[in-house]
Amino acid sequence: MSGELELQDRRIILGLSGGIACYKAAELARELVRAGASVQVVMTEAATQFITPVTMQALSGHAVVTSQWDAREPNNMAHINLSREADAILVAPASADFMAQLAQGRADELLALLCLARPAERCALLLAPAMNREMWAHPATQRNVAQARADGATVLGPAAGDQACGEIGNGRMLEALELRDELVAFFQPKRLAGRSVLVTAGPTFEAIDPVRGVTNHSSGKMGFAFARAAAEAGAQVTLVAGPVHLATPRHVCRIDVTSARQMHDAVLPLAPRHDIFVATAAVADWRPASAGEQKLKKDGSGRAPSLELVENPDILAAVARLPVQQRPWCVGFAAESHDLVRHAREKLQRKGIPLIVGNLGPATFGRDDNQLVLVDARGETELPAASKIALARQLVQVIAERWEPHPR
């Protein structure tokens, strides 16, 4: 999460149906508010057995609504008024019984009534299932979930893992941060829907001996942010990552590698199967000609052992040289220490690709923010300093506008 208000001005109804996962809804409400959303909590009677409306009111900053007969509404029509003001209804947890109500069009309580009465064209419905693994697997539940999807709902999860009952399996509600990010992603324009994107990220590590190696300060954060932004935009994303300690963005397929040659061998077979290739990885230009089988020891002479370096394969250039029918649309990154635009344009011409994204590496490695310059045949375009996820979303927009498919 970038820390910025990614749900600024969004009006969200957070619905709670009955289930132990209601405890997660407290943290979820807090995270949605932190992201800038206005959160109105609606609870079923069963939900109030697991967590109190007082708690949810304190976290959301709004009085919780629990009854369709709530007389605080001037016209006594909370089910109409609330849904007309909302951008989305997120039901978390969504119990098996609640999804059965939706599938059958029943409106026994306010929350189901809200979902039934919402203007579907401008108020989305998202469901986060939470239940025992056997309940989730039951054919009736699966029919009801399928019907809810067919009726326009988006189903988030569930996850697999330990359950409150002591069993292990599918049925866990997604965690609060996961649901927040799913909601953020839901509102992103689907500019890359139907496209496949291959991304490299992070540094590479070139072994000198079993404990030492040649690497760089790249954190991988920009590449991981782009992978997340591309997935938010509807793309199928494959991320080839060097040695970094970052969580995999949701809905992204990740392949971990260590060295430049491993990254090359992972990328080249995948590239022809993708529409777009974005090479954000800071790949080591050289590697030791041979790695010692044992740790190199000091001998007291004061002289360091000689280290012969050989050039690593150029992954981006190799992809750019693929036959036109197999070649994805390529975007390179140039992390420079000086003369950024000049070096970026030289790299653009040397690699023979349509777009280079330049940044000053020493000023951005490890940080959550960045500033970029886009270099192509049109000239240079600056993307001012912003969080890396915000810049990644801008870059997605640029790529979506400029991408031209090669004949396949």
Which residues are the active-site residues? 165
Tokens representing 343 are 């070096």
| Phi, then psi, of 166 in degrees rounded to 5 | 100, -10
Tokens representing 308?
A: 């012969």
Q: How far is Cα 44 from Cα 61, in angstroms, rounded to an integer?
A: 19
Residue 167 φ/ψ, nearest 5 degrees? -90, 170
Q: Write out the DSSP string of 71-112.
A: TTSTTS-HHHHHHHH-SEEEEEEE-HHHHHHHHHT--SSHHH
Q: In DSSP terms, which residues pair with 11 in a beta bridge?
A: 38
Position 249: which residue type? Answer: P
Q: What backbone phi and psi angles, to 5 degrees, belong to 45?
A: -60, -40
Q: Which helix (H) or strand (E) holds 10?
A: none
* Token pair of 313 as six digits: 């394969």
Residue 346 CA to chain centroid, in angstroms? Answer: 32
Under 8 Å between Cβ of 115 and 89:
yes
Residue 210 neighbours by CB under 8 Å, 6+ apart: 291, 292, 293, 294, 295
SS3 130: coil
Nearest by Cα to 184 from 245, 132, 136, 251: 251
3-class SS at 224? helix
Provide φ and ψ at 284, rounded to 5°: -60, 130
- The burial class, CB within 10 Å (0-12 / 13-18 / 19+), for 3 is exposed
Bridge partners, 311 (sequence order): 286
